[in-house]
Copies of this chain bind each other. A is one copy, B any other.
Amino acid sequence: MDPSSLSEDALATPAPRRQAMVPEATVARLPIYLRALHVLADDGQTTVSSEALAEVAGVNSAKLRKDLSHLGSYGTRGVGYDVAHLIEQVSAELGLLRHCSVVLVGVGNLGRALAGYGGFASRGLAIDALLDADRNRVGEQIAGLTVRHIDELCDVVSKGSIGVIATPAQAAQQVCDRLVAAGVTSILNFAPTVLSVPPGVDLRKVDLSLELQILSFHEHRKAALAQGAPV
């Protein structure tokens, strides 16, 4: 499992009243299932078995079934799952039905790429604000949005907004603090720094160097094995 992010507040309710608690590992796979389902739907399939869906999603079929059972989505024994209904179910669980607004801070190399990316909007997520500290960049038009100054943060944050940090590492903690102060409780960080957030705020990170270094490790290990253990 990817332990990079954790939600410390998930256990806040001592009594799991009626809403089933979905394991974090399952949540991390729901988007994958959703994408697989869209592929199948575009392909014209109306029902799908756990085996077939698991194949497309690249996971074990038993895992898939257990995951889906967590969100109470019932398939039909002997038949499988209704694709359209399951898309609805998973989308609802992920909160994608009511459009989730995304606020992007830092319109540099990476921020520009993110802003111009159409893959988010197609699935209920839309970047609807670009912020930067550089006065020269403020006012610039990118992908139909106008870059605004970071000081206007409070004006663009609405309830339930997700913050994305694409600033240099040096400024990341400061930007993070401002996002939290503005009421943002979900943050995605691209800067290669460890950020600290108060309880109740979800923080995830994407670290490209880290991924490459992990691959480098395995590559290095393979080379060592190939040279030292071919026997």
Interface residue ranges, A against B (CB under 8 Å): 1-5, 7, 9, 12-13, 17, 19, 22, 25, 27-28, 30-32, 34-36, 56-58, 93-96, 100, 102, 109-110, 112-114, 116-117, 119-120, 123-125, 159-160, 162, 164, 185-188, 192, 194, 196, 200, 202, 204, 206-225, 228-229
The residues of B that contact A222 with a CB separation of less than 8 Å are 9, 185, 200
Q: This chain: how many copies in the complex? A: 2
The residues of B that contact A223 with a CB separation of less than 8 Å are 95, 159-160
- Could you jot down 26 A-B contacts, CB within 8 Å? A1-B2, A3-B25, A4-B28, A28-B210, A31-B207, A32-B194, A32-B210, A34-B213, A35-B192, A94-B216, A95-B217, A96-B213, A96-B216, A102-B212, A109-B116, A114-B208, A123-B213, A125-B209, A160-B220, A162-B212, A162-B216, A162-B219, A186-B218, A202-B218, A204-B211, A206-B206
The residues of B that contact A95 with a CB separation of less than 8 Å are 216-217, 219-221, 223
